[in-house]
Amino acid sequence: MSNLSSESSESPESSESPESPAPLESQADSNPDKRTAAEWITFGMASCLLLTLVGLVIAVWIDPRHQQPPLIEAAQAGVIWESSGQFYVPFTVTNAGGGTAESVQIIAELEIDGEVVESGEQQIDFLSGGEAETGAFIFSKNPQQGTLKLRAASYTLP
């Protein structure tokens, strides 16, 4: 009877024979240097992404265009037209420099017979390096009867 009870007290789960394979956890722990293909692919992709990001940061840092201050240019862009007694003068503002400019102020002055008879002012909120914005000044007198001066008056750095 004791023979029977000893056999029944041992369950197949608790008995380990020397020939049974080790659990999966102990196999992975026994060789920590072994990597799966998915781990190597993930490592390679992450490394490429990191190297690309570092390379771009260095390229922007070294590139002299990004070190230049803003260079704001204002010019008439197109034909002056009239509508309802108002004269519309289209213009383009370009940041030819490398830096970004904020609150760019553009002034237009209309001189007739050597005297400034009208002036206008425009404000461009944001102008990054190489970017251009367009707009129009509106005058009550015909700009073709005098001299029109367009210029950038000021800007702030972000």
Q: Tell me, letter by letter, the H, E, C secondary structure of the chain.
A: CHHHHHHHHCCCCCCCCCCCCCCHHHHHHHCCCCCCHHHHHHHHHHHHHHHHHHHHHHHHHHCHHHHCCCCEEEEECCCCEEECCEEEEEEEEEECCCCCEEEEEEEEEEEECCEEEEEEEEEEEEECCCCEEEEEEEECCCHHHCEEEEEEEEEECC
pLDDT band at 27 (very low <50, low <70, confident <90, very high): low
Residue-level pLDDT at 34: 86
Give the pLDDT confidence of 34-86 residue by residue, as tens digits.
889 999 999 999 999 999 999 998 887 787 666 678 899 999 998 999 999 99
Residue 136: is its pLDDT beyond 90?
yes
**Can you give the pLDDT at residue 68?**
75
Residue 80 corresponds to which amino acid?
I
**Dist. CA 72–CA 107, nearest whole Å:** 12
The domains of the chain are located at: 2-64, 68-156
Residue 129 — pLDDT band, cuts 50, 70, 90? confident
In words, the CATH class of domain 68-156 is mainly beta
CA angle 94, 133, 62 (to 5 degrees): 45
Using a cut of 0.85, tell me whether the model's pTM lies above it.
no
Does the pLDDT of residue 22 top 60, yes or no? no
Look at residue 122 in the predicted model and tell me its pLDDT: 94
